[in-house]
């Protein structure tokens, strides 16, 4: 594990504007920087970086966070990968905490496998471009497939001659240990003699999400040899084919940006489409699609389009994949190609516009896909139609989202010309959940409810308290408190008194005194974390605090912190619209927010008591309680200098 000291150094030395600036073109805008969102297609900048707060916010997608969060979102690094990236960028030595001997050995073995795989990738690439066999056999094959030099180099494609141990001999000579050559699957040892696994083949390196080489796929070019057409690396500590998608490293940004992932069958399908401009494409590397591969995609998008061949094997693979994708809660579409075509061959003689148009116009949902298969094969056979409808209901039944289930049932009813009632009953039997009510009331749409303004007000007040704590929680301010005292005649009066207090303590004690709890669960979690941080350290370092939040809470916090930066995006100052500087009246802001929250809650309580009057006989007790709340409201109005 990376030591805390290293992580602290990374946060101390990394600058969010420099890190983001490596990936997004930023322009100075007041004290901040702005640019086009890297997570969506837009023409007007909605992406803001704050050097002062050391955070970024993308107002088009809602994403936000610190430098580490940006790398995890944009580059799809894991947390350790992001820390290591920043450590390398800022020349920080990475210290590892004490780990067990077994873990240390495993970590060392993994790193050795990465090193030997990287060497092999460079060796195969060098052989492709600079050896006689490489150029005449391997390079010729790739050029015949229509791949350009740039594409070949980008994907690190390579070649290995038919010589039994051309690679292994050179690797051992260069100091790479036999044990790691064998464990990586690059070399097979027979009678202690090394043999190249991928001899006589063109090589397709398989990259991880972060770009490291995990293993290889290799295609034989000599059709006379009776062996597998494609050969993959065997399973190892770094290569597990069921958890890897070919091309994910090159496609990840485009998948996230376009919010859709195309899945194809082969390596060349991926490369050909990418070369033509369809970059959000990956392959399951010759294996049946797995839940681990779908989980990898889910980090980037919830939408998948399957581009499998139209032959029997392709159809079967598509049908298997559909249910797996649906069960993971993702949306799935299918695009079929003309007979005898696959994505590679279909794309070779077409432009980006032609391919993109075909994919958009021919991508259909799984119900239409299964209905289309039925139309081709059934000849109006009622038995086959029944079988297809049952298959569709089976697929719908494994969708975890009940709203989606209902929408698909209605869609199926329309396409297959069968009543919703029958389909709902069939679905209820499949899911074994509560019986679906199929009355007209159940099937009809529920009318949209109007937005509750009271709920919005409460949300805004709770959000404002979080904002104050984040921006000014450690500041010491003077607050005016009204203290109950007796005057000379013995009457109770309110006397204003100035009290010094730290902002977070003032808020915490006021809320605790009135036993006020946040109703929004996210705000409640953030509030508790902020108070805990202040009570422990008397301060809150934003970048460290954000780092300890999950993605959802981090986005909430950055959204709150960067709220005022929205004004800069619209150049309000140039239109003579000026945003009030809250620092000039922090104590007033705190007091008004807390008192407004109290008033809201009092009004809510009074409304509840009024409802009780209709149900209880003891109205005097309730009226007395209402009267007490009105007195309290009157006191609050004096504090706020406002009439309620």
In tens, the pLDDT along 55-83 reads: 898 888 888 888 988 988 888 788 888 89
Superfamily of domain 4-89: Zinc finger, CHC2-typedomain (3.90.580.10)
Give the least confident one: 109-123, 521-535, 596-610, 622-636.
622-636
The mean pLDDT of 572-590, rounded to a whole number, is 56
* 161: pLDDT strictly greater than 70: yes
How far is 56 from 459, CA to CA, in rounded Å? 23
Q: Which residue has the higher pLDDT, 341 or 583?
A: 341
Strands 261-264 and 303-306: parallel
Identify the pLDDT of residue 219.
Answer: 93
What is the pTM assigned to this prediction? 0.60
Identify the pLDDT of residue 412.
Answer: 83
The mean pLDDT of 430-449, rounded to a whole number, is 41
The mean pLDDT of 450-464, rounded to a whole number, is 68
Identify the pLDDT of residue 99.
Answer: 55
Q: What is the mean pLDDT of the chain?
A: 81
How far is 57 from 40, CA to CA, in rounded Å? 13
The mean pLDDT of 124-133, rounded to a whole number, is 95
Which three-class secondary structure state does DSSP give residue 503? helix
The C-alpha angle with vertex 577 and arms to 36 and 462, in degrees rounded to 5, equals 75
Identify the pLDDT of residue 433.
Answer: 46
Q: Which residue has the higher pLDDT, 159 or 432?
A: 159
Position 494 confidence tier, pLDDT thresholds 50, 70, 90: low
Closest CA to 68 of 639, 622, 544, 611: 544
Give the least confident one: 173-177, 327-331, 467-471, 574-578.
574-578
Position 637 confidence tier, pLDDT thresholds 50, 70, 90: low
The mean pLDDT of 428-435, rounded to a whole number, is 59
Which three-class secondary structure state does DSSP give residue 232? strand
Closest CA to 543 of 19, 192, 2: 19
Which three-class secondary structure state does DSSP give residue 203? strand
* 448: pLDDT strictly greater than 50: no
Q: Which residue has the higher pLDDT, 285 or 107?
A: 285
Identify the pLDDT of residue 627.
Answer: 63
Superfamily of domain 101-239: DNA primase, catalytic core, N-terminal domain (3.90.980.10)
pLDDT in tens, 140-152: 999 999 999 999 9
The winner for highest mean pLDDT among 288-292, 549-553, 626-630 is: 288-292
Identify the pLDDT of residue 275.
Answer: 96
* 379: pLDDT strictly greater than 70: no
Identify the pLDDT of residue 597.
Answer: 82
Q: Which residue has the higher pLDDT, 382 or 643?
A: 382
How far is 586 from 501, CA to CA, in rounded Å? 12
Q: Which residue has the higher pLDDT, 330 or 446?
A: 330
* 609: pLDDT strictly greater than 80: no
* 630: pLDDT strictly greater than 90: no
Identify the pLDDT of residue 483.
Answer: 60
Identify the pLDDT of residue 629.
Answer: 56
* 277: pLDDT strictly greater than 70: yes
* 108: pLDDT strictly greater than 60: yes
The mean pLDDT of 329-354, rounded to a whole number, is 90
The mean pLDDT of 167-188, rounded to a whole number, is 94
- Half-sphere exposure (Cβ direction) of 132: Cα atoms closer than 13 Å: 0
Position 287 confidence tier, pLDDT thresholds 50, 70, 90: confident
How far is 253 from 128, CA to CA, in rounded Å? 29
* 199: pLDDT strictly greater than 60: yes
* 364: pLDDT strictly greater than 70: yes
* 213: pLDDT strictly greater than 80: yes
The mean pLDDT of 320-331, rounded to a whole number, is 86
* CA distances for 66 relative to 39, 257, 523, 543, angstroms: 16, 20, 19, 6
Give all strands (DSSP E) within 253-302, no chain letters. 261-264, 281-283
Evaluate whether 161 touches 200 at the Cβ level (below 8 Å).
Answer: yes
Identify the pLDDT of residue 329.
Answer: 83
* 572: pLDDT strictly greater than 50: no
The winner for highest mean pLDDT among 14-18, 385-389, 428-432 is: 14-18
Q: Which residue has the higher pLDDT, 142 or 432?
A: 142
Position 131 confidence tier, pLDDT thresholds 50, 70, 90: very high
Identify the pLDDT of residue 232.
Answer: 92
How far is 218 from 201, CA to CA, in rounded Å? 6
**Roughly how many angstroms between the first and final C-alpha of the chain, as a whole number?**
58
Which three-class secondary structure state does DSSP give residue 566? helix
């Amino acid at each position: 594990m990376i030591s805390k000291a290293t992580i602290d150094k990374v946060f101390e030395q990394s600058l969010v504007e420099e890190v983001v600036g490596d990936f997004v073109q930023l322009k100075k805008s007041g004290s901040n920087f702005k640019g086009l969102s890297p997570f969506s297609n837009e023409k007007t900048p909605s992406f803001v970086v704050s050097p002062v707060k050391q955070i970024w916010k993308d107002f088009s997608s809602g994403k936000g966070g610190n430098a580490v969060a940006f790398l995890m979102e944009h580059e799809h690094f894991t947390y350790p990968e992001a820390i290591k990236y920043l450590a390398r960028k800022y020349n920080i030595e990475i210290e590892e905490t004490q780990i067990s001997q077994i873990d240390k050995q495993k970590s060392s073995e993994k790193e050795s496998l990465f090193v030997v795989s990287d060497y092999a990738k460079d060796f195969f690439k060098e052989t492709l471009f600079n050896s006689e066999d490489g150029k005449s056999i391997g390079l010729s094959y790739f050029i015949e497939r229509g791949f350009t030099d740039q594409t070949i180099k980008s994907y690190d494609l390579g070649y290995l001659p038919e010589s039994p141990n051309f690679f292994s001999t050179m690797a051992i000579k260069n100091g790479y240990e036999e044990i790691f050559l064998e464990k990586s699957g690059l070399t097979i040892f027979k009678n202690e003699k090394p043999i190249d696994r991928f001899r006589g083949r063109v090589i397709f390196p398989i990259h991880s999400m972060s770009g490291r080489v995990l293993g290889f796929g290799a295609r034989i070019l000599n059709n006379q040899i009776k062996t597998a057409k494609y050969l993959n690396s065997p399973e190892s500590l770094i290569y597990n084919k069921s958890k890897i998608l070919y091309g994910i490293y090159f496609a990840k940004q485009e998948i996230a940006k376009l919010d859709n992932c195309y899945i194809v069958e082969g390596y060349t399908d991926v490369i050909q489409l990418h070369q033509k401009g369809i970059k959000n494409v990956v392959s399951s590397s010759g294996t049946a699609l797995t839940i681990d591969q779908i989980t990898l995609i889910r980090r980037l998008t919830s939408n998948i389009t399957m581009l499998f061949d139209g032959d029997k094997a392709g159809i079967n693979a598509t049908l298997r994949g559909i249910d797996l994708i649906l069960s993971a809660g993702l949306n799935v579409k299918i695009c079929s190609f003309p007979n005898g075509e696959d994505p590679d061959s279909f794309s070779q003689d077409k432009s980006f516009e032609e391919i993109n148009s075909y994919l958009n116009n021919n991508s259909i949902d799984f119900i239409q896909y299964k209905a289309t298969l039925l139309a081709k094969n059934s000849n109006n056979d009622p038995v086959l139609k029944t079988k297809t409808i049952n298959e569709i209901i089976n697929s719908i039944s494994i969708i975890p989202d009940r709203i989606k289930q209902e929408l698909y049932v209605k869609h199926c009813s329309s396409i297959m010309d069968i009543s919703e009632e029958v389909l709902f009953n069939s679905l209820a039997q499949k899911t074994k959940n509560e019986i679906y009510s199929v009355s007209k009331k159940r099937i009809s749409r529920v009318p949209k409810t109007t937005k509750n303004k009271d709920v919005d007000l409460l949300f805004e007040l709770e959000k404002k308290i979080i904002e104050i704590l984040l921006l000014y929680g450690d500041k010491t301010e003077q607050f005016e408190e009204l203290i109950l005292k007796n005057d000379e005649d013995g009457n109770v009066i309110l006397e204003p008194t100035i009290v010094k207090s730290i902002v977070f303590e003032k808020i915490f004690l006021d809320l605790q005194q009135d036993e006020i709890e946040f109703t929004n669960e996210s705000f409640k979690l953030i509030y508790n974390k902020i108070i805990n941080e202040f009570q422990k350290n008397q301060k809150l370092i934003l970048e460290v605090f954000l780092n300890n939040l999950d993605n959802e809470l981090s986005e909430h916090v950055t959204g709150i912190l960067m709220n005022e930066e929205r004004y800069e995006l619209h150049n309000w100052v140039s239109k003579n619209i000026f945003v009030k500087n809250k620092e000039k009246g922090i104590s007033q802001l705190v007091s008004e927010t807390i008192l407004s929250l109290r008033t809201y809650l009092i009004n809510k309580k009074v409304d509840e008591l009024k409802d009780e009057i209709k149900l209880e006989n003891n109205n005097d007790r309730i009226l007395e309680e209402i009267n007490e709340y009105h007195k309290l409201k009157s006191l609050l109005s004096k504090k706020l200098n406002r009439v309620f």
